[in-house]
Amino acid sequence: MSNEPNGDQNISALEENKIKAEEAKDAANKLFSAKKYEAAIEKYSEAINLNPNVAVYYSNRSFAYFKTEAFGYAVTDADSAIKLDPSYTKGYYRRAAAKMALCKFEEAQRDFRIVVKKAPTDKDAKAKLLECEKIVKRIKFEEAIEVDSPKKNILDTLEVNSIVVEPSYGGPKFEDGKITKDFIEEMMEYFKNQKKIHRKYAFEIILAVRKIMLETPSLVDITIPQSSKLTVCGDVHGQYYDFINIFKINGVPSETNMYLFNGDFVDRGSFSLEVILTLFAYKWLYPKSLYLTRGNHETDDMNKVYGFEGEVKAKYSESMFDLFSETFSTLPLAHLINRKILVVHGGLFSRDDVTLDDIRNIDRFGKKHLEQGSLMCELLWSDPQIQPGRGPSKRGVGIQFGPDVTENFLKRNNLELLIRSHEVKENGYVIDHNGKCITVFSAPNYCDTIGNKGAIINITPDLKLEYKTFEAVPHPNIRPMAYINQLGSMFM
């Protein structure tokens, strides 16, 4: 007698799975509405496992991935939704949004055109298509201009010495042309009250840091003196009021209270300019006590989409953004603490043989070094994963690396620990890979929506680690990404 279930039982099981899948989808939708995106992803995945033939499940999970900045996974799920139902308009919309987030503007434009064709009365889709077309045209125009007439170095056109500080200016001023601790403290209070320092001082701060960074290697060695501590901070993303709260909690930078800010200083938060000018000012004042790692958001493509370019142009000028752009390209890519702890913004590599000398020798200047597969791209973009080995990036850029990859890299380079940032974490930090890979994120209640804590790591000269977590503090009623273009509503 056969043990196989009969046809009626098969049909009954399928129907039961469909009912359970709908229940999982409904539960996921509630979690999504509550902004519990990771939990929503798990429930959407449950629905897909029960019934893998429903386009909306993939589309909804795509949106949840989008909210967690897993843009690569968001594209994959949108692809699945479209494959299941080529007429499903929302699948194309989801894919267009994720492509935009990855700065793949022409691909996004194609999808928006499909959305508008399928839903001609959708005003939102039309507006986003129009904005996307503007970006594509602008990029092509800029590329054509560069071919016909190479872009001039901003330093060739910038004459800071000729800028006059008007007598009516009542903000902080340099003493004999030099930055001081008093200037920075007055500047921070000025920023807190939503005022701007004079553009002459802003330009001089950026130029001073650019000069320092041009003389800085791609991998910076840091030694913590016996009388000092070093604090590693993760992404602060333009959340100025949370950023200065770190100094309230942990003390302002000084020669003995050292800091390493590990990338993604700007974008998303609408006070990015205040954050970066404060960091640059402290870097100028304490070049051996405050360190800055380049993040994936210290790049033109990200700045054009996520708000920093628009913010600088609104508060100062296009020429100032151009100077920031050139200065970001000079930032180092990694820091080595007491020869034992490597700090990078993103993560590790698609190759097994990378050494510290390889990182030291990266020529970090110019866009071509950010191309997918390059060491620099992977330093800025990669993420850890639970599974051994390597996997495709959930972001669509860089890779994902497992605990064995971390262990092998550390062993090969005689290191004890990898510290990285790049990912929002509920408690501000997470210890992965058998204690060998730590993620720290310092922007609490990220984008005013996630509800996470921020965290910092204090490191003593004998390399003992102390974690501090903190909640978000109030800020003026200016929403995140207030300076981005019409496509911005996608990222909210």
Residues assigned a catalytic role: 297
Burial grade of 11 (CB within 10 A; 0-12, 13-18, 19 or more): exposed
DSSP string, 150-178: PPPPHHHH--GGG----TT--S---BTTB
- Give the strands of the sheet with 290-292, arranged side by side: 290-292, 257-261, 229-233, 454-459, 465-470
Identify the DSSP state of 453: P
How would you classify the pairing of strands 334-337 and 290-292? unpaired
C-alpha pair distances (Å), 131 with each of 93, 127, 302:
14, 6, 16
How many whole angstroms separate alpha carbon 87 and alpha carbon 101? 23
Q: String of b and e for 120-130 (b: at least 16 CB within 10 Å)?
A: eeeeebeebbe
C-alpha pair distances (Å), 68 with each of 32, 40, 347, 354, 372:
11, 11, 18, 29, 21
Are 291 and 222 in contact by the 8 Å Cβ rule? The answer is: yes
Of 324, 327, 329, 328, which is closest to residue 366 (Cα–Cα)? 329
How many whole angstroms separate alpha carbon 114 and alpha carbon 176? 60
How many whole angstroms separate alpha carbon 238 and alpha carbon 482? 11
How would you classify the pairing of strands 334-337 and 399-401? unpaired
How many whole angstroms separate alpha carbon 227 and alpha carbon 286? 16
* Continuous H helices in 218-338: 240-250, 272-285, 300-306, 308-315, 318-328
C-alpha pair distances (Å), 477 with each of 80, 268, 276, 315:
39, 15, 20, 17
How many whole angstroms separate alpha carbon 473 and alpha carbon 240? 10
Are 292 and 332 in contact by the 8 Å Cβ rule? The answer is: yes
**Maximum CA pair distance of the chain?**
100
Q: Which tokens belong to 443?
A: 């922007």
